[in-house]
Structure 1
Amino acid sequence: MKKLIIIIKIIIFITLFYLIFIAPEVGAEVQGKYFIMVATGYCPCELCCEKWADGLTYTGDKAGRGCIAIDPKAGILKMGQRLYIENYGYGIANDIGGAIKGWEVDLCFNTHQRALEWGRKLVKVYVIEGDK
């Protein structure tokens, strides 16, 4: 019985430790409505961007972590919106991608390896309050 109590205490401690110190922080501003979208990763290299690999986004910003490519024609997200992407963090919709259509976003990483590691997954995409 004592072993069971010790095991339960350890599980509670590990869970609390994770929630306090390890779990990604999400501010109150991203609570609420979100879109479920397919997220892929890219970087500013020639393999990812082909002939458009000039290191800049569609809006002229320096491409890197925090830049998010969207499909502005789909009308789901708008250029310039500040977004929070589950398991990625905050970013700005400031790029477009030829392969990004509808319910998809392409998340920029600083290295090709990080983009490959991200792969392709379903994520929650929050539009930060105050944006259009």
Structure 2
Amino acid sequence: MAALKAEAKAKPKARAKSEVNNESVNETPTAWQTYQASAYTAQCPEGCSGITATGLDVTGTIYHAGKRIIAVDPSVIALGSVVEVRQADGTTFEAVAQDTGGAIKGAKIDVLVANEADAVQFGRQSVQVRVIN
């Protein structure tokens, strides 16, 4: 019992900044990494609800907080992360990881688009991705 009291009175160890306020200490973007990208829509005849894995209703939009919405493997890119995507043609856009998908494993992302024609036009492409925050 005396040992328990001694532990309770001991000063807590100093914690890293990230532990204190739940913010990343390193807010510098990560290095560019190659991912395979495809596109998906919230409009499908069967099997989807238009609600992302984070609970966001995307039936009428492809944006959240001014950024494109993407599906990711959350073991690779954390849900809620903001990323920059550079397409094969050099154009870039910012996106937020708000969704997951059964086929999205490892270095793959799925970009939410407005309709099936946009998904076909986007196709499957190799892109560069870096996490901004």
TM-score clears 0.5: yes
TM-score class, shorter-chain normalisation, is 0.5 to 0.7
For 1:63-113, what per-residue CA distance to the aligned partner results, in whole angstroms no more than 9, with x for missing partners? Answer: 2241110111xx321111001111351111010011111110000011221
The answer as to 2:84 corresponding to 1:84 is yes
| Residues 123 and 70 of structure 1: CA distance in aligned 2, closer, same or farther (over 3 Å) | same
Instruction: State the distance in 1 between where 2:128 and 2:107 align.
Output: 11
Instruction: State the distance in 2 between where 1:125 and 1:102 align.
Output: 13
2:35 aligns with 37
TM-score computed with the length of structure 1 as normaliser: 0.65
Question: Residues 1-132 of structure 1 correspond to what in structure 2 (within 5 A)?
Answer: 33-46=31-44, 50-52=46-48, 54-63=49-58, 64-65=62-63, 66-72=68-74, 75-87=75-87, 89-128=93-132, 131=133
Unaligned segments of structure 2, at least 5 residues: 1-26
Aligned-residue identity in percent: 30
Larger Rg: 2
TM-score computed with the length of structure 2 as normaliser: 0.65
Query: Which amino acid is the alignment partner of residue 55 of structure 2?
Result: G
Instruction: State the distance in 2 between where 1:127 and 1:109 align.
Output: 21
Q: Which runs of 4+ in 1 moved over 2 A?
A: 29-32
| Residues 46 and 83 of structure 1: CA distance in aligned 2, closer, same or farther (over 3 Å) | same
Unaligned segments of structure 1, at least 5 residues: 1-28
Let me know the Cα RMSD of the aligned residues.
2.1
Cα contact 1:84–1:126 (8 A) shared by 2:
yes
- Partner secondary structure for residue 35 of structure 2: strand
- Partner secondary structure for residue 51 of structure 1: coil
